[in-house]
Amino acid sequence: MMKKCPNCQTEVEEEALVCPQCGYQWETNAEKVEQVVSEEVVSEEKTQSVQQAANEEVSNPENEDKAQTTVAPQTPEESEEETNNQSSENSKKVLDFEKLDDFEALKPHINQAKNYFEELKATILHPTIGEIKYKTLGIINFIVIGLLFSLTFSRLLGVMLKGIYGAMNQFTNMFGFGQSSYGSSSISAFPMFWLFLLAIFLTQIILVLVYWIFEIIMQKEGASFKNALDQIFEPLSVLVVVGIVAFVFALLGSVFLKLALILCVLYLLILRYSFDGNIWLIANPKGFNRFYITMIPVALYSVVSYFVFKIVLGVLIENSNILGIIENMLRF
């Protein structure tokens, strides 16, 4: 009789205990019996140890007390308190998650604000004309500058009207003309703000439009309204600081009003300086005479600005009734 080795499939004699090819050893009956007996002994020892541990737990009164205390039912007050604690913990977790979500939602805006102030600082310290370095700085400056000086002009008008109405009241009371109809208290803190806002933004847009058209005439590469706006307003970061200071001076009143008015005039001069500088530095591939070709957009912007100023001044005089006050003073 022959048998096969389970390891290498070599045929060997039935009585062989070792494979001559790979050295595999067959177990004898005595080894199998010894292995079975050892397994039974180990299982019996495990069973005895488990039973002994159970008997010790039952016989120990401390364990019984612990078992009773753990199994003891909770009172309604305890269960309610536990429920409240769990609900408060859950609510705290929800609030923490909401705070994290709000912070994550605000994080991009915070980063954008930081980037803007860094760009603002860089262009205040080192402004450049005719060169674009940042994507959104020009647009933000355009909006912030227009808003700040609209508020400043409106505040200056309010202070001026209150002064005129106050002087008119004193004049009528001094000469005994009865109760004056000019009440300075009815004037708002920022009269005709929307008119100033419209006028300033319209003037700034006209400035950009004229420069953009001039770029197209001069055949500048990449000419667009966005690029024209950036080239004019990116180097004007200093006007953001000037606008903040002018607005604060206008709010303080008294002797600071003259300083606020001076800063408003400075705003108009610096705005025009940036426009003229960009006009002068633009490329001239066709070889036009630089003096006369730059005179065209400068003159065009001056004429348009004059008409805008005339319209705004007419609306201010009509709505503030200044002419009526002057006529009444002359009549007296």
pLDDT per position as a tens digit, 20-29: 777 777 665 5
The reported pLDDT for the residue numbered 37 is 45
- pLDDT bracket for residue 187 (50, 70, 90): confident
The H-assigned helical ranges of the chain are: 29-59, 61-71, 76-125, 137-174, 193-217, 225-233, 238-252, 256-281, 290-320, 322-331
- pLDDT bracket for residue 43 (50, 70, 90): low
The reported pLDDT for the residue numbered 202 is 93
Q: Greater confidence, 312 or 150?
A: 150
> What whole-number distance in Å separates Cα of residue 46 and Cα of residue 13?
42
The reported pLDDT for the residue numbered 205 is 94
Q: What percentage of the chain has pLDDT greater than the value 90? A: 27
Q: Greater confidence, 327 or 129?
A: 129
Report angle CA 253, 254, 260 to the nearest 5 degrees: 55
> What whole-number distance in Å separates Cα of residue 110 and Cα of residue 291?
46
Least confident of 4-18, 47-61, 222-236, 261-275: 47-61
Least confident of 4-8, 62-66, 177-181: 62-66
Reported as a single tens digit per residue, the pLDDT across 95-126 is: 555 655 665 666 777 887 888 889 899 999 99
Contact 215, 230 (CB under 8 A): no
5-23 average pLDDT score:
75
Contact 278, 215 (CB under 8 A): no
Contact 3, 12 (CB under 8 A): yes
The reported pLDDT for the residue numbered 99 is 59
**296 to 217, 232, 300: CA distances (angstroms):** 11, 17, 6
Q: Is the pLDDT of residue 242 over 70?
A: yes
The reported pLDDT for the residue numbered 71 is 43
Reported as a single tens digit per residue, the pLDDT across 67-78 is: 444 445 556 555
Q: Is the pLDDT of residue 193 over 60?
A: yes
Phi-psi region of 23 (alpha: psi -120 to 50; beta: other; left: phi over 0): left
Tokens of 3: 């048998």
Tokens of 48: 């005895």
- pLDDT bracket for residue 326 (50, 70, 90): low
Strand partners, 11: 4
